[in-house]
Amino acid sequence: MMPYFDNADMQYIFAKYTHFFHPEVEVGLSKNIKSQKTIKTINDLPDGTVIFVHTGKVISANTRTSIQIGVNKHIEPGRYGVYTNHSCEPNGVIRTKMNAFSNTATIALIASKELKKGEEVTFDYATTENFLTPEALLSKCLCGSVKCRGKIMGFNNISESQRQFLSNSGLLADHLVEQYRNFMNCSN
């Protein structure tokens, strides 16, 4: 685990916020992806910065914009979350928390790298989603990374070596960490 989003920090963040948006981040037009909106920084921000926190009702099926927080559990990620684009080499990470008894969940986007002014904040959709909706799965990835997979894919569609890499990266959402650990235990 990397220090900027260890469990103690996340407990603090989730206890403090149900909704938050960093004042030095804005919704604007993407440079990388033509005529697509994005969230980007207004100033340099250190890694570990909380970009946004959003709480929403848990739904059982994914949509084009939802973020997965468990098995058959998804939430719509709010005004800022819907504009957070995918990158195969992201500078952000999604952390999730189920809220007992209320059928809601809270998600947070945390900077996993130092961000420069004007930089678009992204996360890797394969770190939260098992599968994407069919229309999203067919999208060509425009992240521009040298590590680009070519298509935007969920965790179940990437290669085994990529799954292994993500499971050791600290970027994978808790529900996929658990799922992958169970899978590895069963196949050993």
Contact residues toward Zn ion (CB under 5 A) are 88, 141, 143, 148
Nearer to Zn ion (CB atom), residue 141 or residue 173 = 141
CB of 113 to Zn ion, least distance (A): 16
Nearer to Zn ion (CB atom), residue 72 or residue 139 = 139
Q: Judging by beta carbons within 10 Å of its beta carbon (0-12, 13-18, 19+), is residue 115 exposed, middle or buried?
A: buried
CB of 149 to Zn ion, least distance (A): 6
Tell me which residue of 5, 87, 11 sits closest to 51, measured CA to CA: 5
Nearer to Zn ion (CB atom), residue 55 or residue 87 = 87
CB of 181 to Zn ion, least distance (A): 26
Nearer to Zn ion (CB atom), residue 67 or residue 141 = 141
Nearer to Zn ion (CB atom), residue 41 or residue 122 = 122
Distance from C-alpha of 122 to C-alpha of 125, rounded to nearest angstrom: 9
Long-range contacts of 158-163 (CB under 8 A, 24+ apart): 158/126, 162/126
Distance from C-alpha of 132 to C-alpha of 145, rounded to nearest angstrom: 20
CB of 82 to Zn ion, least distance (A): 19
CB of 22 to Zn ion, least distance (A): 24
Q: Which two tokens stand for residue 16?
A: 């403090």
Nearer to Zn ion (CB atom), residue 50 or residue 136 = 136
Q: How distant, in Å, are the alpha carbons of 15, 27, 92, 154 from that of 18?
A: 8, 20, 19, 26
Chain-centroid distance of CA 156 in Å reads 16
Distance from C-alpha of 163 to C-alpha of 158, rounded to nearest angstrom: 7
CB of 129 to Zn ion, least distance (A): 14
